[in-house]
Structure 1
């Protein structure tokens, strides 16, 4: 197995465990981590001995979104390229024949939340926080959240999360269907769940997963539309003001209103 800078890859019998290392600051899904996660998922997907994959993180933050310093000032084409890489990472989970289990503690926001939406199971620790705060930055979600959240939690809850940037705690996340369960021992529960797959037919699991993800193919055009709309936001000053205000720890001042054709 390849050695990673930002990840720890372990095995528990036939279960692959991918742990995002705690960063000096807050865990963010930057280009380096995206590349390493892509490589790790690709390797685990191709390993016939691995029957299930658990994704988790060290520290107080699971993934607090994209690296804002990395995306500020992107051109439209660069922003679309950023969204394409995020989608390629998600596709490694969606199109894998193996069950993926997300174990979340701490902040799971923006692109971090979009990533776990593609997992088959989501187990929350008691200290997790979930949200899509892009609206506060003069941006919109660009990794499928608008489409997937409506499918998963319904239009009303999805609208509240995305239009307001509201943050939700684990019990509310469970009640609306954003996570499957809340546990004081989320990793232990994830291992029990993953071990239950070891003696099952890998073919049957793969087919079941394909059938569960049929809507992904049907909704693919909508997700591509999200990616285009997300990238277009970088052609307007709101994104620079919103990201800059966040990095400078001040309130943003959005001065102009324009329509963007999606």
Structure 2
């Protein structure tokens, strides 16, 4: 397994640590591959009763890496279909492409997943956090549904997951504006389950509490919630893929990237 994500299992708790602190755990191709592989490895891990997601360093995950934005600005999309870590790559039998799977894999796990969020949870980072059952966040965490800022649409299960955790009008406003939201507002809106000055410590404490319950009962409860939660997921994920496919490499999307990189106002065509 890649050292980009470190999985440690102790006393029934799997800690999944995003290990790219120098880039605020931003998502390049290797990071996409490593996160999905880490999640997949826990599906059959013996004795795991709870999972904690955490970002090393100053942030949980700051979203897409600039290397991918650079490719988009050059009209190259996110890579070839067979490239390792291409977020647009599909596997037979899945309802997700890789970019969606790094978020959805936590919903597929049979045990509860807790995200300990600090620093930044932007774009893909926010969507990964939404894939967890529970989110414990520092009040100073910055959240953003960032995709429109880069001329994109949320395509990492974001439209589906947002619609499940916040009101529809709130989901739309956050998506259309791409604005930054502080941790306290994120809690008020419903993005965050609990605020904490020590989110990692509190997430681990909650994981220990869950791990002390009957594993069959806890897994059964997650299965029941998942049955209600997953309705229409496949159709929505397919729609996300189609919509972002229409945007990647389009003149306005390239202009969004270039304007942000050059720190100027964009000049969009209607």
CA contact (8 A) 1:55 1:103 kept: yes
Indicate whether 1:48 and 2:52 are aligned.
Answer: no
In structure 2, relative to structure 1, the CA distance for the partners of 1:91 and 1:22 (3 Å cut) is closer
CA contact under 8 A between 1:139 and 1:238: conserved in structure 2?
no
Unmatched 5+ stretches in structure 2:
82-86, 91-95
Cα distance 1:75–1:36, how it changes in 2: closer, same or farther (>3 A)?
closer
- Corresponding position of 2:169: 156
Tell me the residue number matched to 2:59.
Answer: 61
165, 185, 190: which is aligned to 2:178?
Answer: 165
CA shift for structure 1 position 204: 2.0
Q: What secondary structure does 2:31 align onto?
A: helix
Q: Which whole-Å CA distance do the structure 1 matches of 2:206 and 2:197 have between them?
A: 15
Pick from 207, 210, 220 the counterpart of residue 197 of structure 1.
210
1:129 and 2:131 correspond: no
Within the alignment, does 1:252 sit opposite 2:266 as a pair?
A: yes
Partner SS for 1:212 = helix
Q: Which residue of 1 aligns with 2:238?
A: 224
How large is the RMSD of aligned CA atoms in angstroms?
2.1
Number of residue equivalences: 254
Q: 1:25 aligns with which of 23, 26, 36?
A: 23
Task: Give the drift of 1:117.
Answer: 0.8
Matching of residue 106 in structure 1 with residue 119 in structure 2: yes
Find out whether 1:140 has 2:140 as its counterpart. no
SS in 1 for 2:210: coil
State the distance in 2 between where 1:17 and 1:80 align.
Answer: 27
How far does the alpha carbon of each residue in 1:169-198 deviate from its partner, in whole angstroms, 9 at most, with x for none?
A: 111111111010110111111111101122
In structure 1, what is the equivalent of residue 250 of structure 2? 236
Tell me which moved more, 112-121 or 33-42: 33-42
Deviates more, 1:115-124 or 1:89-98: 89-98
Q: Given the two structures, how large is their TM-score scaled by the length of structure 1?
A: 0.89
- Partner-residue secondary structure (3-state), 1:24: helix
**Hey, what's the Cα distance between the residues in 1 that align with 2:232 and 2:5?**
33
Q: Verify the 8 A CA contact 1:80 1:230 in the aligned structure 2.
A: no
Residue 144 of structure 1: how far off its partner (Å): 2.0
Contact kept in structure 2, 1:125 and 1:184, CA below 8 Å? yes
Which SS does the other structure have where 1:46 is aligned?
Answer: coil
Give the CA deviation at 1:233: 0.6
Aligned to 1:208: 221
Contact 1:123/1:186 (8 A) holds in 2:
yes
| 1:188 alignment partner in structure 2 | 201
**Partner residue, 2:129:** 116
Task: List per-residue Cα deviations over 1:203-250 (Å, max 9, x = no partner).
Answer: 222221122223323232122201210111125211111112223333
CA contact (8 A) 1:42 1:92 kept: yes
**1:188 & 1:134 partners in 2: Cα distance?**
30
